């Protein structure tokens, strides 16, 4: 996963601290829930393998998400995500239909507010009102569609 992430960062010139997720990558462990470094998991699509062995899952039309959260680390209350969506060829995907879900698995509830997505153009999106109502681990799911391109990614944030 680290090799893949570094390769993409070199290609796309992403800033340090940006989470990079592509569909088809094997899910990772959830992070320590005490404000530690953000970790990411991705929807593997077909459940028949990943980077660590087996046949790699290759979605038909995957999307690559680069996500940063402000503030970092995430905090109680409102947070803002900056999202860059590109195809696997590195071309930005403008005007994607991006939806965001916020869920706290341990408590079985969502957020008090609905995230608001703003399309900024050139494949860049801002998601406001990413609201964490209590301390613990939160799961944020981003789903994007643009024509025949689609992708979903799941990020875990520890809030202290």
Partner 1 sequence: MSARAGLAGLFALAWLAATPAHAGACCLSSSAFGIGRLALWEQFAIIVGTSASPVAGRWDERRAWHDGSTDYAETEWRAQLSALVALHERVQVYGRAPFVFTQKVAGELSESGGGLGDSQVGVRLEPLAQGQVPYVPEVSISLGATLPSGRTVAGARTPLASDVTGRGAWVLLAALTFEVAQDDWFAQLAGGLTYPLAMAGVEPGTTQQFGTGLQASLAGGYELRKGLVASLVARVAWEDNVKVDGVSLPKTAAFDFGGGPNLAWELSDHLTLQAGADFNIFRGGFGANRQGRTTVNLGCRYAYF
What is the binding site for partner 1 (CB under 8 A)? 30, 32-34, 75-78, 101, 103, 105-113, 131, 133-137, 160
Nearer residue to partner 1 within complex by CB, 66 or 155:
155
Nearer residue to partner 1 within complex by CB, 124 or 128:
128
Nearer residue to partner 1 within complex by CB, 37 or 90:
37
Nearer residue to partner 1 within complex by CB, 96 or 104:
104
Sheet with 63-70, side-by-side order of all strands: 19-22, 63-70, 77-87, 124-132, 116-121
Sheet with 39-42, side-by-side order of all strands: 39-42, 149-159, 136-146, 97-104, 109-110
Q: Supply the minimum distance, in Å, between the C-beta of residue 143 and partner 1.
A: 10
Nearer residue to partner 1 within complex by CB, 40 or 137:
137
Kindly give, in sequence order, each residue whose CB lies less than 8 Å from that of residue 40, ignoring residues fewer than 6 positions away.
Answer: 19, 20, 21, 28, 67, 153, 154, 155, 156
Angle at 50 between CA 20 and CA 10, to 5 degrees: 30
| H or E stretch covering 8 | helix 2-12
Instruction: Please report, in angstroms and rounded to a whole number, the separation of the first and last CA atoms in the chain.
Output: 27
Q: Supply the minimum distance, in Å, between the C-beta of residue 136 and partner 1.
A: 7
Q: Supply the minimum distance, in Å, between the C-beta of residue 23 and partner 1.
A: 18
Q: Supply the minimum distance, in Å, between the C-beta of residue 142 and partner 1.
A: 13
| Bridge partners of residue 81, in order along the sequence | 69, 127
Q: Supply the minimum distance, in Å, between the C-beta of residue 63 and partner 1.
A: 19
């Amino acid at each position: 996963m680290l090799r893949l992430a570094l390769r993409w960062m070199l290609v796309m010139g992403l800033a340090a601290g940006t989470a990079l997720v592509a569909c088809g990558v094997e899910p990772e462990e959830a992070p320590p829930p005490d404000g530690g470094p953000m970790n990411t998991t991705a929807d593997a699509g077909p459940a028949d393998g990943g980077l660590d062995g087996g046949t790699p899952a290759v979605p038909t039309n995957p999307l690559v998400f680069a996500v940063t959260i402000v503030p970092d680390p995430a905090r109680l209350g409102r947070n803002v995500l900056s999202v860059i969506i590109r195809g696997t060829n590195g071309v930005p995907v403008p005007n994607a239909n991006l939806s965001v879900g916020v869920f706290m698995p341990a408590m079985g509830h969502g957020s008090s507010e609905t995230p608001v997505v703003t399309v900024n153009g050139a494949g860049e999106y801002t998601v406001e009102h990413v609201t964490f109502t209590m301390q613990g681990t939160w799961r944020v799911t981003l789903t994007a569609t643009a024509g025949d391109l689609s992708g979903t990614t799941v990020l875990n944030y520890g809030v202290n």
